[in-house]
Amino acid sequence: MSGEGLIAEPRAVHGSEGHAKLRQLMHRGTEFLGCEIAILGGAMSWVSERNLVSAISNAGGFGVIACGAMTPELLDTEIAETRARTDRPFGVNLITMHPQISELIDICAKHEVGHVVLAGGLPPGGAIERIKGGGARLICFALAQEILPHIAHDMPVFVAGGIGRGEAIAAYLEMGAVGVQLGTRFVCAHESIAHPNFKKAFIRASARDAIPSVQIDPRLPVIPVRALKNKEMVNFAAKQREVAQALDEGAIEMAEAQLQIEHYWAGALRRAVIDGDVESGSVMAGQSVGMVTREEPVAAIIQELADEAAAALENRG
């Protein structure tokens, strides 16, 4: 039971003491990102592209391109197309296990991308230095509740995972976070290119429907994400076993095995997001999916989150 029905509708608090408090608690985050409200758009493959990313940035948040399995050429185009749609700051999310991560870093430097987000584990040697050398600020992931109280004074911390309402944002800010990252809440935005079937699956789902991805073999890294349970989850497990067997038999090298898993995963995501096949495609969704109840503009989503957070802060004094 999510308990969503037990939470009262937020009252309008534009310009209230709560909003002033919200701006104060987010100040380090907005300074770091260069935006108006420290809400990052989570990088979702095939969803977090030029249209949604620019819409989030134009609404005062901070959009992030999901590079995923893109080639350097595709990322080059995506950054350029995003720049054509917004003059606000945005970032790029790179998967550390991407076989061409060095070239992707070069593309980010070429476009003077101000912020790079690394996901998927420790990056190869020299990657962090090259990102910073290109002038970008670096954002990484960690278990927030474990480290937040200990490092919040030393560096800006943005919390991600399962956040769907402003009350949760307010709580993390009071713990010392300077901002948050949300992905799931933006999937059903009007500006999202996700297929109508994909959006319908989100609107119908509850939090318990979003279950973690399973890694069959430790040699074949699978980025831990959640997705709505369907036939594809069984298919993906079977694919991992197939590739692991080929690796055991010496039919393929480790790099090729890992690339096959990444390409399969990217294809499964595309089938769901772009083609609308929500049975044999991967429907990635966070635990906040139960809070997605309708399609609406990005600006309305961000405003609602801000109003909820401000109301919570004001009510607590």
Query: Per the domain annotation, does 176 fall within a domain?
Result: yes
Is residue 123 located within the same domain as residue 234?
Answer: no
Residue 93 domain flag: yes
Residue 1 covered by a domain: no
Q: Are residues 249 and 120 in the same domain?
A: no
Residues 141 and 95 in one domain: yes
pLDDT higher than threshold 80 for residue 146: no
Residue 280 in any domain: the answer is no
299 occurs within a structural domain = yes
Find the mean pLDDT for residues 229-241. Answer: 92
Q: What is the pLDDT of residue 14?
A: 54
CA nearest to 44, candidates 246, 251, 282, 309? 282
With cut-offs at 50, 70 and 90, classify the pLDDT of residue 168.
very high
Residue 235 and residue 181 share a domain = no
- Per-residue pLDDT at 270 exceeds 90: yes
Query: What does the pLDDT read at residue 91?
Result: 98
Domain shared by 120 and 182, yes or no: yes
pTM: 0.89
CA dihedral 256, 258, 259, 260 (to 10 degrees): 90
DSSP conformation letters of 134-150? TT-EEE----HHHHHHH
Mean pLDDT confidence for 245-254:
93
- Looking at residue 271, its amino acid is R
If asked whether residues 187 and 213 sit together in one domain, one would say: no
> Does residue 259 share a domain with residue 232?
yes
Domain residue limits at 267: 206-273
Q: What is the pLDDT of residues 224-233, one digit of tens each?
A: 789 999 999 8
Q: Which of 1-5, 23-27, 179-183, 250-254 has the lowest mean pLDDT?
A: 1-5
Residues 25 and 165 in one domain: yes
**Bigger pLDDT: 69 or 193?**
193
Q: Do 63 and 183 have their domain in common?
A: yes
259 and 157 share one domain: no
Q: Is position 5 within any domain?
A: no
Is 79 domain-assigned? yes
147 and 231 in one domain? Answer: no
Domain total of the chain: 2
Cβ atoms of 113 and 91 closer than 8 Å = yes
Assess contact for 291 and 165: CB atoms under 8 A: yes
| 57 and 106, same domain (yes or no) | yes
Q: Considering the domain boundaries, does residue 161 fall inside one? A: yes
- Render the burial of 153-192: b for 16+ CB within 10 Å, e for the rest: eeebbbbbbbbbbbbbbbbbbeebbbbbbbbbbbbbbebb
pLDDT higher at 28 or 15 = 28
pLDDT at residue number 10: 39
CATH of residue 86's domain is: 3.20.20.70
